[in-house]
Amino acid sequence: MASDVGFIGLGQMGLPMVTNLSKAGFSVSAYDLKAEIRAQAEALGGVIVAASPSDVAAQVPVVFTCLPSASAVQAAYTGDDGVVFGGSAGLVTCDCSTMAPEISRSLARQLAGHGIHHLEAPIFGIPLQAHERDVYFAVSGGEAYVGAVAPFLGAMGRGYRYVGGTGVAHTMKILQNGIGMGHAALTAEVLVTCERLGLDTDSFISLVMEARALGLSVFFERYAEALVTGEKTNAGLLPVSAKDAKLARDLAHHVGLPAPILEETAAVFQEAMDKGWADEELTIMSRIARGRRLDEST
């Protein structure tokens, strides 16, 4: 094998994780659709940029993917020059993306037909945590193959938990993201309320963090100030956040739960998308809140 591990998808989460694999001494065969990102990866020690997902799979025993949508994941595995065309029987693949569990189960069945063992390890964390090797993984799929990916997960994050069969990890990640996206939207509304009351928002943020009470979270600690200032701070991109909020709402609907809070969270993120802010980060929620007035919404 030309490299220890393959990695497809070098976005906000993928590139820092590949960087950490390189720092841990692993040789990496990497690929991304964007030439400028491939160039960044090539500048890392121990990273070889491959010509395609198929080329990645031909060089390694284990392939990770970290992509923004289910369609991108499907294309990377089974599209033209996909993993299935380069990977040999016995290859272990591991998807770190966030997508509907039924799509993951379908993909696992397709790959099994080619002798490829598919796992999923969605990431619990935000881009800044990926840089700091502070992300965590939920892993599901065939438990016999977890050992093949464990050393790499250890290099990219601070740990993992095996949670069950294919689709379970994605389900749990979506539910966790529902909490996170709801918290982001709610935090934005609370901070804008502070502003309109004439309170010192810096003092309020400091109080919440010092008190370490119920309102505190990783999101609040890292991004509350950005919600006030509008500064970009490497938070998750809006389209991914909107997708995740919708997936959480859809899971609730699937089991017959009305879930009005998840419904509103998905609607708020979609409102931001509809305003043409797809290039913004999820902290754009404060701009949505600032633009609202009670008499306009009743």
Which one of 165, 198, 218 terminates a domain? 165
Element (H, E) at 48: strand 47-49
Please check whether residues 154 and 10 belong to one and the same domain: yes
Q: What is the CATH number of the domain that holds 118?
A: 3.40.50.720
Backbone dihedral angles phi then psi of residue 219, each to the nearest 5 degrees: -60, -45
Backbone dihedral angles phi then psi of residue 159, each to the nearest 5 degrees: 155, 180
Please check whether residues 283 and 209 belong to one and the same domain: yes
Which one of 165, 198, 222 terminates a domain? 165
Please check whether residues 111 and 175 belong to one and the same domain: no
What's the rounded Cα separation, in Å, for the pair 82 and 101? 21
Please check whether residues 157 and 42 belong to one and the same domain: yes
Please check whether residues 34 and 147 belong to one and the same domain: yes
Please check whether residues 96 and 202 belong to one and the same domain: no
Please check whether residues 181 and 255 belong to one and the same domain: yes
Residue 296: per-residue pLDDT: 60
Please check whether residues 184 and 80 belong to one and the same domain: no
What's the rounded Cα separation, in Å, for the pair 110 and 104? 10
Range of the domain at 277: 171-297
3-state secondary structure at position 25 = coil
Please check whether residues 10 and 148 belong to one and the same domain: yes
Structural domains counted in the chain: 2
What's the rounded Cα separation, in Å, for the pair 118 and 96? 11
Please check whether residues 181 and 159 belong to one and the same domain: no
Please check whether residues 161 and 180 belong to one and the same domain: no
Is 139:120 a contact under the CB 8 Å cutoff?
yes
pLDDT in tens, the chain (298 residues): 689 999 999 999 999 999 999 999 999 999 999 999 999 999 998 999 999 999 999 999 999 999 999 999 999 999 999 999 999 999 999 999 998 999 999 999 999 999 999 999 999 988 889 999 999 999 999 999 999 999 999 999 999 999 999 999 999 999 999 999 999 999 999 999 999 999 999 999 999 999 998 889 888 998 899 999 888 887 778 999 999 999 999 999 999 999 999 999 999 999 999 999 999 988 889 999 999 888 765 4
Which one of 111, 138, 165 terminates a domain? 165
Q: Where are the beta strands (DSSP E) in 87-202?
A: 92-95, 117-120, 123-124, 136-141, 160-164
- Greatest alpha-carbon pair distance for the chain in Å reads 64
Strands 123-124 and 160-164: unpaired
Please check whether residues 147 and 217 belong to one and the same domain: no
Is 96:123 a contact under the CB 8 Å cutoff?
yes
What's the rounded Cα separation, in Å, for the pair 221 and 280? 20
Residue 298: per-residue pLDDT: 44
Is 165:143 a contact under the CB 8 Å cutoff?
no
Residue 126: per-residue pLDDT: 85
